[in-house]
Every structure is written in structure tokens, then in C-alpha cells.
Amino acid sequence: MKVHTQIPLRNYTTMKIGGPARFMTNVHTKEELVEAINNAQSQNIPFHILGSGSNTIVHDEGYDGLIIRNCIEGSTVLSDSASSTTLEINAGENWDSVVKRTVEMNLRGIEALSAIPGTAGAAPVQNIGAYGQEIADTLVSLTAYDSLDKKWVTLENADCEFSYRSSIFREGEAGRYAINSITLELYKSRPEPPFYAAVQEYFDTNHITQVSVADIRTAVMAIRADKLPNPAEKPNSGSFFKNAIVEEWHFNDLIRDYPSMPHYDMGNKTYKIPTGWLIEQCGLKGSLISGMRVHDKNALVLINESANGYGDLALAREEIKGAVRDTFRIQIEQEPLEI
Ligand SMILES: Cc1cc2nc3c(=O)[nH]c(=O)nc-3n(C[C@H](O)[C@H](O)[C@H](O)COP(=O)(O)OP(=O)(O)OC[C@H]3O[C@@H](n4cnc5c(N)ncnc54)[C@H](O)[C@@H]3O)c2cc1C
């Protein structure tokens, strides 16, 4: 196991901001993963698991500890029945390659999660979701090294406490578990309507009536290519803010003032409101704030056009949050995690 020093983390995140990692190592086996964590803990050095850095923002000081990158690839079919196939996927796999393969196998369950950057190991952390699916819908369990109890564990779906863009890996137990594999159960039945509105629109435009999982992947990839900037060309972290969730009394106030406000009834007297719409209403769509561009096709996305580091990003973030707070009395939350 090689340990590298002073590695610029801006090169390992899609936002391309931030200072160096004091130490960094790539692990290729379970044993190396445990060795890396044990080494850091025995020397009282903090450690952090990094995937592809597509949901991570790094501070200008960098990370004064050990960055561990899980590079363990591969997947195994655990079981196969007439109705479903269960697969175990190692954490270092590229997420979209996993989706592509399962779609080629004609399996249903993660096809709408096509083209989300990142690794399979990171997918449960924020319960990745898009176009009506989230990984919580198909994840059976995962294996992880528990750095607190120093043992390998299997966590079932319910143990992960998945919710909208969240799980125990982001909240209560952040930093505790190094996820090493995820197990998904995917289905052999054809996808059935209703489909997510934008996906259905794509099918209508393209006269697709007998929908296959491959059609959904194609539709999602086309919609995303139009709405989301490619991080390789325009550094960004996808949605920079989570969609807003408000209580019924607040929703009633807002819909009175903004009758055309898009919203989604989540049950339990809560409503989801697209934060991109809120930002757009504040007149910020397309604007450049401290070198950060509010994407002109999707105001949820911030592009690092010419930011001079984390400070500029923070200025832009606070200006946007302040505008939404002042206009709608909603406290919006950042989606990417920070180190
Ligand atoms: C253009 C673009 C579009 C995006 N679209 C979507 C979208 O539609 N839906 C969506 O949900 N997200 C989206 N994202 C966000 C991002 O792709 C996902 O959150 C993805 O799962 C992050 O994977 P990563 O490997 O890059 O994680 P990283 O950014 O490297 O890490 C994210 C978090 O996961 C933790 N982590 C990573 N690997 C492990 C592991 N093996 N064990 C334990 N913890 C780990 C890290 O410590 C960190 O806290 C988008 C991002 C971009 C840039």
C-alpha cells in the first residue's frame, strides 16, 4: 500500500476547489482498506474515504489527514430467480458503468439513476436519486468496515435510515463506516407507467410506447445532457442545494402568494419545492457571483467559472441562501459534503 503526500485535492473533486491532502492512499483489497484505517487511527490521524469527489467540496487548507480511495472494482451475481437478480457490487466501481451493465442485462430498478457521476460505494451515502428512483428502492444491504468497533459489518436497508438525499452515512454515523460493497435486487419485469414527467415527455416526442429499461436510460441521459453541465468541461458538483421541504402551514402561505409554484406532496403534511425554482424567482439564474455561475439551464447547479478558492464559493452560496431566505423564508441546505 503506497501513501502519497501533499496531493492537490482540487484534482480529485469535480468542483476543482481546495487545498492538498496531507496523505492519500488507494486501496485495492479489503485488507488494505483495514490497514489504511488502522494505520491512521494508531497514529491519531483523521481519515476520510473519497470516491470520485463529485459530491465533495474541499476547503482551501486541504485535508490534514489521510484520504483513502476505495479502488476495489468488480461485481457478482448472488442470486437469480424468475423475477429478479441480486448483485453485489464493489465500492470502487464507477456508478454509471454499473447502471449500464444492469440495463444491458435488461434489469429494472436503477435505470433512472443513469449518468450520475461517482462510485458505487458513495451511492448509499446520500441515497442518490433522480427521475423518480433512489438507491434506497433497490438496495438490500451493504458491507462496510466499522472503524469505531473495528470489525466488518453487514447493514440491511433499514439500518441505513435512508431518506431524501440522506442516510446514517451522512448524518448520525458520518465517517464511521467504510462501505466496501452494495447489494441490489433488480427486477426482470418491464417498466410500467406512470413515468417521471420529463421522461414521459421524451417518450411522447420520440413516439416510444413500449418502454424498456434501455429506453429509460436513453431518455434520462438525453435529459441530463441538456440540463447538467459536464464537470470535465465546467467544474460543478451537480445540484449544489437540496430541494426544499416545507411544512403544510408554510406551504399554504407560499402557494397563496405564488399560485404557480411547482411542488410535490410528500405526505406527512410536508411538501417538496424545487430549490432551482426558488433561486430563479430571486432573479439569480444565470448570474455570476464571486466567480461561481448559477447555471442558466438549472439554477440548482453552481459552476466554478473563476472562483479563487473556497472563500469565493462560500460567498456565492451565502448570497443565494440569503436571497431565498429573505424572499421565501426557507433555509435551503447545501447538498455536497465538505472536508
Ligand atoms: C454533474 C453531476 C450530476 C449529479 N447528479 C446527481 C443526481 O442526479 N442525483 C444524486 O443523488 N446525486 C447527483 N450528483 C452528486 C454525486 O454524483 C453523488 O452524490 C455521488 O454518489 C457521489 O459519488 P462520489 O464517488 O463522487 O462521492 P464523493 O464525492 O467522493 O463522496 C461523497 C461522500 O460519500 C462518502 N463516501 C464515498 N465513498 C465512500 C465509501 N466507499 N464508504 C463510505 N463513505 C464513502 C465520502 O466520504 C463523502 O462523504 C451529481 C454530481 C454531479 C457532478
Percent of the chain with pLDDT over 70: 100
- Cβ atoms of 188 and 84 closer than 8 Å: yes
Q: How far is the CA of 81 from the centre of ligand 1 (A)?
A: 31
From the alpha carbon of 144, which atom of ligand 1 is closest? Answer: 42
Going by alpha carbons, the residue nearest to atom 21 of ligand 1 is 123
Ramachandran angles phi, psi of 327, nearest 5°: -80, -40
Residue 45 sits in a domain of what CATH number?
3.30.43.10
Total number of domains constituting the chain:
4
User: 79 lies in a domain?
Assistant: yes
User: 179 lies in a domain?
Assistant: yes
Indicate if 158 and 207 belong to the same structural domain. no
Q: Is 304 in the pocket of ligand 1 (CB under 6 A)?
A: no
User: 273 lies in a domain?
Assistant: yes
Indicate if 244 and 330 belong to the same structural domain. yes
Residue 166 bridge partners (DSSP): 163
Q: How far is the CA of 118 from the centre of ligand 1 (A)?
A: 5
Indicate if 246 and 297 belong to the same structural domain. yes
Q: How far is the CA of 71 from the centre of ligand 1 (A)?
A: 15
Indicate if 105 and 182 belong to the same structural domain. yes
d(CA 215, CA 193): 13
pLDDT digits (tens, 9 = 90+) for 103-115: 999 999 999 999 9
User: 192 lies in a domain?
Assistant: no
Place of cell 460543478: 236
d(CA 241, CA 44): 33
User: 331 lies in a domain?
Assistant: yes
- Assign 259 a pLDDT band (cuts: 50, 70, 90): very high
d(CA 187, CA 82): 9
User: 34 lies in a domain?
Assistant: yes
pLDDT digits (tens, 9 = 90+) for 53-89: 999 999 999 999 999 999 999 999 999 999 999 999 9
Q: Is 231 in the pocket of ligand 1 (CB under 6 A)?
A: yes
- Cβ atoms of 144 and 152 closer than 8 Å: yes
Indicate if 97 and 166 belong to the same structural domain. yes
Domain enclosing residue 32, as ranges: 3-70
User: 150 lies in a domain?
Assistant: yes
pLDDT digits (tens, 9 = 90+) for 168-220: 999 999 999 999 999 999 999 999 999 999 999 999 999 999 999 999 999 99
Indicate if 260 and 282 belong to the same structural domain. yes
User: 29 lies in a domain?
Assistant: yes
Q: Once rounded to an integer, what is the mean pLDDT over residues 272-294? A: 97
